[in-house]
Structure 1
Amino acid sequence: MDLMQFFDMILHVDATLGKLLAEYGVYVYVVLFAIIFAETGLVVLFFFPGDTLLFIAGAFCATGEMDFALLSTLLIVAAVLGNTTNYWIGRAIGQRVFVHDYRWINRDALNKTRVFFDKHGGKTIVLARFVPVVRTFAPFVAGVTAMPHTPFQIYNIGGALFWVLSLVTAGYFFGNIPIVREHLTAIVLVGVGAAVVPVMLGSLWKYSRKFMNRNAVK
């Protein structure tokens, strides 16, 4: 597999995964492991389509072309290792990432994730799994802000389990329905919204109550 073919798979994973399975068989597991690890472990690869890949791979498990248990285990490990790598890169760079202009870091995505992290704390590591771009930057910001390693790993492992299993399972049961395949991007976005919006509304409500209580005291 050459570099162009690899990136074509990433950008059109729903159309190319079947072809790659036919050509490379079990070696596709290595490719999928690498994609999930890279998306979660390297901030420069935030554009990789992790959600779509997990869903489509689950659909291929339903047809018997991939093994559900093996796939899920490998991708959970990849997601945990990716976040851990990203965390330690952030720890190594530290707070200077916010004052130095690193060309390899998307400044807007970094600032967006920092706001998200400030609002949700450690839960960001779990919630961010379902939010493209933020998913890649969350462990990096956790490292930059020196979040303790043990709590980080608890959130990291829990988030990886929930993210991988929920999307691979959804793909297993629904990924081969024609209407689902035709509107996959929209469905994934709706799923992300369903996971994140209630949490955002809850946080907004808590902030509003604190604001009202503060005014009442005055």
Structure 2
Amino acid sequence: MEHFESWKDLINPEFYIKLGGFWLVMFIIFAETGLFVGFFLPGDSLLFISGIYSVELISATFGSTGSGFLDTTILSTCIALCAILGNEVGYWFGYKTGPAFYKREDSFFFKKKYLFQAHDFFEKHGSLAIIMARFLPIVRTFVPIVAGIVKMDKKRFLFDNIFSAFLWSYTLVFAGHYLDRLFIVEFGIDLKAHLGSIVLVLVLVTTLPVILKLVFGKVKDREENSGS
């Protein structure tokens, strides 16, 4: 059993897997996609590393099927279901609290114009926003809430939610499982011995688009403000 030692454990997917196994992984996926406080929790890296541990996770919880493919399929499906539930909770929260946001006065942290911009964005690119957000840390926590706030069509959101959850889960979990097998067979390298480096690469790859968007977004805002 793992024990909490430092704040670094909170962003280490392997810590959660060894601490609480299958059920803790499920809760983290739900929290990261459905609760405000879940934005700091590992998402993409947790799925990838869960794929590496898929046989162990399913065996310890339900008993192995005897097939790595079936064990990974079960894990991917369960993760997708938790991700769907999380997004629905986020959407419901945004839907119920939306009117209060529209009545709120502008402040340093809140600008009503962004709410209207988000509404227009979801009207034009709603499906793409939901699907892409699955693969972007932090963003995936708030996109379903914003979708609820701007009153995105419920049926459309549900379809995009289900599709994106299975795409996200199956892509990353199966990638972790089969890349681990590939590296062991072809190169004699056990990815479990290099999880620190793997997590670092995944964090950089998934957060880079968010960082670039924030940087260029601020530059664009300054240019617009200086030109007005």
Q: CA deviation at 1:97?
A: 2.4
- Structure 2: 5+ residue stretches without partners: 59-71, 181-189, 214-228
Structure 1 stretch displaced more, 150-159 or 41-50: 41-50
Q: 1:185 aligns with which of 199, 216, 222?
A: 199
Q: Could you say what secondary structure the match of 2:57 adopts?
A: coil
Q: 1:88 aligns with which of 73, 86, 92?
A: 92
Superposition TM-score, scaled by structure 1 size: 0.68
Q: Is the 8 A contact 1:117 1:138 kept in 2?
A: no
User: For the structure 1 residues 190 and 4, does the alpha-carbon distance in structure 2 shift closer, same or farther, using more than 3 Å as the test?
Assistant: closer
Give the percent of matched residue pairs that are identical in Structure 1 and Structure 2: 34
Q: CA deviation at 1:32?
A: 1.1
Write the distance in 2 (CA, Å) between the matches of 1:116 and 1:182: 40
Residues 125-136 of structure 1 aligned to structure 2 (within 5 Å): 125-136=130-141
- Deviations for 1:186-209, whole angstroms, at most 9, x for unmatched residues? 431465379x79xx9xxxxxxxxx
Q: Could you say what secondary structure the match of 2:56 adopts?
A: coil
Question: Match of 1:147?
Answer: 152
User: For the structure 1 residues 70 and 87, does the alpha-carbon distance in structure 2 shift closer, same or farther, using more than 3 Å as the test?
Assistant: same
Aligned letter for 1:87? Y
Q: Does 1:13 align with 2:13?
A: yes
Question: Match of 2:37?
Answer: 44
Write the distance in 2 (CA, Å) between the matches of 1:184 and 1:114: 34
Q: Is the 8 A contact 1:116 1:124 kept in 2?
A: no
Q: Could you say what secondary structure the match of 1:66 adopts?
A: helix
Superposition TM-score, scaled by structure 2 size: 0.66
Q: Is the 8 A contact 1:9 1:17 kept in 2?
A: no
User: For the structure 1 residues 117 and 35, does the alpha-carbon distance in structure 2 shift closer, same or farther, using more than 3 Å as the test?
Assistant: farther
Q: CA deviation at 1:135?
A: 0.4
- Structure 1: 5+ residue stretches without partners: 201-218
Q: Is the 8 A contact 1:88 1:140 kept in 2?
A: yes
Q: Is the 8 A contact 1:93 1:144 kept in 2?
A: yes
Structure 1 stretch displaced more, 116-125 or 32-41: 116-125
- Could you list the structure 1 runs, at least 4 aligned residues long, displaced by more than 6 angstroms after superposition: none
Q: CA deviation at 1:35?
A: 0.7
Q: 1:71 aligns with which of 50, 72, 75?
A: 75
User: For the structure 1 residues 43 and 30, does the alpha-carbon distance in structure 2 shift closer, same or farther, using more than 3 Å as the test?
Assistant: same
Q: Could you say what secondary structure the match of 1:130 adopts?
A: coil
Q: Could you say what secondary structure the match of 1:146 adopts?
A: coil
Number of corresponding residues:
182
